[in-house]
Chain A
Amino acid sequence: MTYAQAAPAETVSYATADGLLSSVWLLVAIPLVSATILLLLGRRADRWGHWLGVTAVGAAFLLGLSYFLGLRGLENRSVELSLWDFIAVGGLRVDFGLLFDPLAGVFVLLITGVGFLIHLYAVEYMAHDERRRLFFAYFNLFIAAMLLLVLGNNYVMLYFGWEGVGLASYLLISFWYTKPAAATAGKKAFLMNRVGDAGLAIAIFIMFATLGTTQYDEVFNGIGALAGSTVLVLGVLLLLGAAGKSGQFPLQAWLPDAMEGPTPVSALIHAATMVTAGVYLIARSNIIFSANATLQLVVVSVGALTLLIGAIIGCAKDDIKRVLAWSTVSQIGYMFLGVGLGGAAYALAIVHLLAHGFFKANMFLGAGSVMHGMKDQVDIRRFGGLAKYMKITWLTFGAGWLAIIGIIPFSGYFSKEPIVEAAFAREGWTAWLFGGAALLGAGLTAFYMTRLFVLTFHGPKRWTEDIEHPHESPALMTIPLILLAVGSLGGGALLATSVPDWLTTTAGLAETEEHHGVLPHLAIFFLAQGVTVLGAGLGWFLFRGGTATAPQPAGVLVTAARKNLYTDAVNEAVFEKPGIFLTRALVYLDNRGIDGLINGLAAGVGGGSGRLRRLQTGFVRSYATSILTGALLVVAAFLAVQAGWFA
């Protein structure tokens, strides 16, 4: 009745790379060299630098593809490549080594493939920025770090990549640092990520202390010998790291603010790749997570809670990029739910991750295209009727919309619905809890995405006066959109059939037998499609006539916009009131609880430090007194130890 636990039946081991695969390091090296060139040459590279950046990622994609195909012939489809001993002192040994297996492989293809298209798009999008070369240098740096993250063969390598993507993300969010909001958002991202990073760092230290290694194979083989509580602590710390990077509860607040960065950054880093690093971490460490049922429950709860938080807040936002950002938070919640369920659901989560990478990148770039044509405005209340003016953007965004809400036969259906089904396949009442949450999330997703789509592209025009004739973006921006749209439409079916088979050879992702949950398969199909249609229909019905361009001035305009107001009233009564209330509660929680905690910590440190600073008076006599006091304490402590008080 349940998924088989993915217990490692045999020991995990990786073959040594030879032939073509022995040059896997090139994947990381190429973008890194390109970034270095761009940074070192400075203004001299301004004219051609962006093309170098694009070429580097394209080359990495082609290489990644050939490596990926090269895996087919191998026995266990995974190769390890040890480059040099990074640290080797006594019992400590850390390899600078790479691991290329199906899990790493699909990530490489996602990062370089989607990355290439977004690079291409950015050439045009950033054309008017005088620091475009620098932008591409950071972008390449990000790709290199992200590839290192997924290709490392031990947790220290992963940590390097982890810090690297964090740095690149920080640099890119605050790229327009003259905007105070961008600089603040960059800082917020950095601080919240540090909380998660600390969890990961401590987890790595625990591995050293208990297992004496951080190599994946040795850690996974040794995990069975550890005490249950150690595994639990290790797993929770890893989860904290993953939650920080992936914007999961309780560390989700930085992700929407990160939208202050240029749109290609939002698409690449904060939708398609970096934010999924947490999912990668958990999928890679699945043997650790499978070893403890409590741990799995924690992951599943975090995923379910976050997917609801993201979806509810997504309903109440008016900024096109922020709606997409909250939707990313929510979709990653689905992935966490998937990886937390264990067994075959790991593979389902990865499929959803890949599919999401396509359709979310597609929609972000679409949003960028809309902004491009609308003088960088982001308020969906001031859009409307754009379908006529931006045909390609409209069509491609529509493909993304169909994909994310999961209508059969688009890709979201193949990737999201199996997760809903897997949630219902848990035992006992938790099946109803998590399955219900996943189902409710699906309905909400359909609603807010439809609202976004309708308000932007359909209904009456609600443009600001300075917009006369919005235009379609140039070809360099629309071609990536079209390619990503094709991926969004068809990708899911393709991925859902091939990827799970591939991933089952990745250590620990065991194949499972047929299963039945609390509900039959067909019932879940109709339920899921039903709530989706319901959500989308409601969104269409409420917003087909547009919405108020709040804040609303009282007077003549009120009657003129009566019809709009009517929908607003319904909107308010049915969704916005509870939505706003919930959102407010959540935002309150977010601001007071989580941010408060973090800001409070910072303020506490600062204030405490300010108070402490008064201790440093500048008088030699008070210094001498403090040394004397310290000396007395130390002597007393030594004597106390000697007297056996501490022992």
Chain B
Amino acid sequence: MNIAVLQFPGSNCDQDAFHLFASGLGLPTRYVWHKDTGLGGADLVVVPGGFSYGDYLRCGAIARFSPVMAAVREHASRGGLVLGICNGFQILCEAGLLPGALIRNSSLEYRCMTCELAVADAGPSFNPAVLGGRLRLPIGHGEGNYRIDEAGRARLESNRQVLLRYVDNPNGSLDSIAGVRNEAGNVFGMMPHPDRAFERFHPSRDGLAVARAVLASRLPEVARASA
């Protein structure tokens, strides 16, 4: 059992993500450089926040073609766990591993604040009964405005793929969507930062429960052991 945290040029939440899993949950965690072509048998791949490749062209558009992403795609296709946070969510959407896209915030402002989030019923491991109805997690982004076409939106709803919704929408996201999973339930993405919500000095410690819920979707015994 181990966690891999990807590092792209411009990643800046890689250390936060590392410590969420290494210190927060006490799990074996290591970094994987974007030029690596393997994931060393990782069970969960975390695509961290930041500004990969300077957000050139579109957020996540270039990172998607990094050598390591072929390994992530292969890992995901075998049912392996993937979690994208903030820029990582943008990368997974660009890569087509998650549905939809993230565009400029409707306010055109970079939003850096702690958000209240409503937990959606996204399956047996990620739902209000497990996580509680509300979470508080920080956000920090300029392009978190989630968009998807009508057919995609209907699929998200019927497959229960929405994970979290903003209580007070900070970026104009369609249906206040803050995070989604793929249909198979092994790839997760969210704009809010569980990796900035697990220490006593953080605005909340709700990031731990989110990380455990992601693990529990495929690795329930690991999630229990880290609780």
A interacts with B: no
Contacts from B to A (Cβ < 8 Å): none
Contacts from A to B (Cβ < 8 Å): none
